[in-house]
Amino acid sequence: MRLWLVFPVLIAAALVARATNAQQVDFVIDSTLQVRETALPYTLDLNLTAVAPTRIGVGALLDLREIQKIVPERLADKAIVDNCGLQVRLDDLSFEAQDDAMDLNGDVTITIFECSRTSERDFQRGEQKKAILANMSTEATVELRDNCAFFKLIDLTLTAPEELREQLLEDNTLDSVKKLMLAAIDLVLNETPLCPELPAELASLDPVYENGGPREIGEGGLGVFLDGSVDVSPSTILDILTVLQQQELIPGPP
């Protein structure tokens, strides 16, 4: 854990009701997001601000720029839908933040196969019928549930080449693929919430987040902000004091 002290008197400010200036301390914590078998690195910038005698404001900024670089590489040429009659593969993916929204764009290959039933429950994939190159674009937002941030797709648009568009619209191919893609992506996103974890020495803070959303970091960098608060208790004060003493930012006990 890396730590920078902006004002090393957070505790005093939390105990004094008439503190004239907002006092704050910044913790920068390296963490990982587990996506199935893969651990993806991110950074948590935790800002604590004295706002009342018995309450500390919490601002958490999750810097996901490393994930933003890694995920497109890991998903390249991976099938996100793969069943008997259909395979949808991501050929390219890019996503970036713009103010308080997140845009995703990419190329997908939609391959349609013959599919025959071999038993009551089993099917067998046959020959390839057609392969379609399409463009995918979508926006994502962040929902706050159970103190965790969940990414959620707002909608998804698939655009096929002009010469295929009329036929695909007629047999609802793109609409069917879109629904399957949304279901597959939403399943993964719901399995991988961002739940900021504090190191053991700060675990008693137990912040409660009330709101959050995407946040652009730099130019197009992906971040997520969470705002909330912490109830001040003796154990909270002792834990923060201990951490500050361990980092030699305030004197240790006499």
Digits of tens for pLDDT over the chain (254 positions)? 444 333 333 333 332 222 334 467 788 888 888 877 778 899 999 888 877 777 788 899 999 999 999 888 888 778 889 999 999 998 888 888 887 788 999 898 999 999 998 988 899 999 999 888 888 999 988 999 999 999 988 888 888 877 776 766 667 788 888 888 899 888 888 888 988 887 777 777 788 999 999 999 998 899 999 999 987 766 666 666 676 666 554 555 55
pLDDT at residue 60, as a whole number: 92
Whether 22 and 105 share a structural domain: no
User: How many domains does one find in the chain?
Assistant: 2
Whether 83 and 157 share a structural domain: yes
Query: For the chain, how far is it from start to end, CA to CA, in angstroms?
Result: 26
Instruction: Give the bridge partners for 229, in sequence order.
Output: 57, 208
Within a domain: 252: no
- The length of the chain is 254
Question: 131: which residues sit within 8 A by CB, 6+ positions away?
Answer: 109, 110, 111, 112
Whether 58 and 86 share a structural domain: no
Structural domain boundaries, residue 184: 76-141+150-191
Question: 201: which residues sit within 8 A by CB, 6+ positions away?
Answer: 239, 242, 243, 246
Whether 15 and 116 share a structural domain: no
Instruction: Write out the two tokens for 134.
Output: 């399409």
> Quick check: helix, strand or coil at residue 247?
coil
Whether 84 and 170 share a structural domain: yes
Within a domain: 251: no
pLDDT at residue 21, as a whole number: 43
